[in-house]
Amino acid sequence: MRFSRLLLPTSKETPNDATLASHIYLIRAGLIQSVGGSGLYNFLPLGKKILDKVRFVVKDELDKAGCLETSLSFVTPMSLWEESGRSEEYGKELLRFKDRKENDYLLSPTNEEAMVNLVRQTVKSYKQLPLNLYQINLKFRDEIRPRFGLMRGREFLMKDGYSFHASFEDMQREFIHMEETYKTIFTRLGLNFRVVEADSGQIGGDGSKEFMILAASGEDDIVVCDKCDYGANVEVATDFKEGDLCKCGAVLRLTKGIEAGHIFQLGTKYSKSLNATFLNEEGKAQAYEMGTYGIGVSRLLAGIIEQNHDDRGCVWTKESAPFTLDIIVANAKDGMQNNLGEQLYKNFRDKHHVDVLLDDRTKERFGPKMKDFELVGIPYALVLGKGVKEGSIELIERKSMEKTVFNFNVEKIDNVEEYDALAGKIVDYLESKDVLPRVF
Ligand code: ATP
Ligand code: MG
């Protein structure tokens, strides 16, 4: 992608309703834009690109874990929620509306009913089980206090998954499998997180776990052990006191987390209320044992920034970064710098499949180009400046702002082999730093 063709309205102004770093930088880096109504955002091109990368990691790991992606209708007939009894229960967060024929509908805040409805129309026998179906779609919750940008929106992107089983034991096996899959997803996104025991209503036991991104700005209070991997939401560890000991003997600590995911052993709650059954091995109708598994995909963008930023801007992780490399042509009117930029850009992109941005803007000086690189938080910048004449360029790591110089033979830079070799050296270096994502 070329910066000269990009829509990236970066800004120095802190939006007045923003207090969290993630909210401030998502807006200042030109990634999202408030629509006006609270908790509603437009994703601008680079914000969308980041969202897609995060979405891809979630999808890739779920697909490998045997889950099947679907896409349910965003609008759900109210009759389904009347069947389950949730139309009464859910309260004001549920956005209800009527169509022209006065039929009642809702904008889905979650989709247990809709997915059970899909399965009850499609699955007949235990032979078709187990099944784990998911989608990554918009959800709408008319939150009482939407705040902190993407952290608590009213419209947000969520992965919601539902598994269907012939036995409680098989559902528990899948629950553990999903816990492992979620750990892989959050690790791959470069997050520092903890799995904590969560409130699971009537079910109890290992019924529910939350995935908490550790951050001082988190809205959840959690109790963690630094010796073993025990953790619990204070909602379940209600009698916890500072200084209490963990089962392993170490002292427990109170800290803050951002809820990024939630997995839940549902049992037969929805399959029974919606009368969703299959024929078991004995030929008898039986209600499905179910699990449900959520990830706040758009909230993850905020969580990643909360853990990865400094006073210059965002510092995206390997697989969430909008680009791996930003080639900054310091003076795009300089023929030599410009030519080298073009050659390297095409080489990285086409030969090495590096997701690269070429800052080829002729109307911006080097200073603002660097500032944009720092604010947006691309992991590396390759600066083609005055040194190009002498055969030297600089690679800057965003996180540490450390520079590494790469040299080439100026005499030969018009030869394909020379910039091929130069790009190759830089790619080897990036490879050695483990910053090239597996796929983009
Ligand atoms: P919270 O306790 O933060 O309100 P929740 O328990 O209501 O979340 P779930 O119903 O478990 O959330 O939804 C699954 C995931 O969706 C959550 O783990 C969270 O990451 C994300 N999520 C929930 N509400 C929002 C929201 N308003 N904006 C962005 N993401 C959200
Ligand atoms: Mg929850």
- Chain position carrying tokens 């299959």: 278
Determine whether the shortest distance from the Cβ of 294 to ligand 1 is under 6 A: yes
Average pLDDT of every residue of the chain: 96
Report the alpha-carbon distance of residue 178 to residue 62 in Å, rounded: 9
Residues 36 and 79 occupy one common structural domain: yes
Protein residue whose Cα sits closest to atom 16 of ligand 1? 296
Q: What's the CA gap between 421 and 337, in Å, rounded?
A: 17
Here the CATH number for the domain that contains residue 160 is: 3.30.930.10
Phi, psi of 6 (to 5 degrees): -85, 155
Residues 288 and 410 in one domain: no
Alpha-carbon distance 16 to 3, whole Å?
28
Distances (CA, A) of 198 to 107, 215, 224, 231, 329: 26, 18, 13, 9, 50
Residue that terminates a domain, selected from 310, 335, 353: 310
Do 391 and 275 share a structural domain?
no
Pair (266, 357) in one structural domain: no
Predicted confidence band of residue 238 (pLDDT cuts 50, 70, 90): confident
Give yes or no for a contact between 67 and 28, defined as CB atoms under 8 angstroms apart. Answer: no
Whole-structure pTM value: 0.96
Per-residue pLDDT tens over the stretch 244-271: 999 999 999 999 999 999 999 999 999 9
Confirm whether 351 is domain-assigned: yes
Per-residue pLDDT of 361-398, as tens digits, reads: 999 999 999 999 999 999 999 999 999 999 999 999 99
Same domain, 195 and 303: yes
pLDDT tops 60 at residue 235: yes
| Token pair recorded at residue 22 | 């993630």
The pLDDT score that the predictor gives to residue 199 is: 84
- Count of domains for the chain: 2
The answer to whether position 316 is within a domain reads no
| Domain end (from 252, 279, 310) | 310
Backbone angles phi, psi at 319, to 5 degrees: -90, -5
- Which of 52-61, 408-417, 424-433 shows the lowest mean pLDDT across its residues? 408-417
% of the chain surpassing 70 pLDDT: 98
Cα 281 from Cα 336, distance rounded (Å):
74
Whether ligand 1 lies within 6 angstroms of the CB of 303 is answered as no
Q: Nearest residue CA, atom 8 of ligand 1?
A: 259
Which ligand 1 atom is nearest residue 219's CA?
Answer: 3
Ligand 1 center–CA 181 separation, angstroms: 19
Is the shortest distance between the CB of 200 and ligand 1 below 6 Å? no
Say which CATH number the domain at 381 has: 3.40.50.800
Same domain, residue pair 12 and 161: yes
Residue 402 lies in a domain: yes
Q: Whose CA is nearest to atom 19 of ligand 1?
A: 296
CA pair distance 378, 372, nearest whole angstrom: 9
Confidence class for position 336, pLDDT limits 50, 70, 90: very high
Would you say residue 91 has pLDDT above 60? yes
How far is Cα 115 from Cα 333, in angstroms, rounded to an integer?
Answer: 57
Q: Are residues 152 and 254 in the same domain?
A: yes
CB 156 less than 6 A from any atom of ligand 1: yes
Residues 247 and 329 in one domain: no
Considering the domain architecture, whether residues 255 and 398 belong to the same structural domain is answered as: no
Domain membership of residue 250 as a residue range: 3-310
Q: Do 109 and 171 sit in the same domain of this protein? A: yes
* 349 and 385 belong to one structural domain: yes
Residues 275 and 343 in one domain: no
Quote the tokens at residue 236: 């379940």
Q: Is residue 284 part of a domain?
A: yes
Percent of the chain with pLDDT over 90: 92
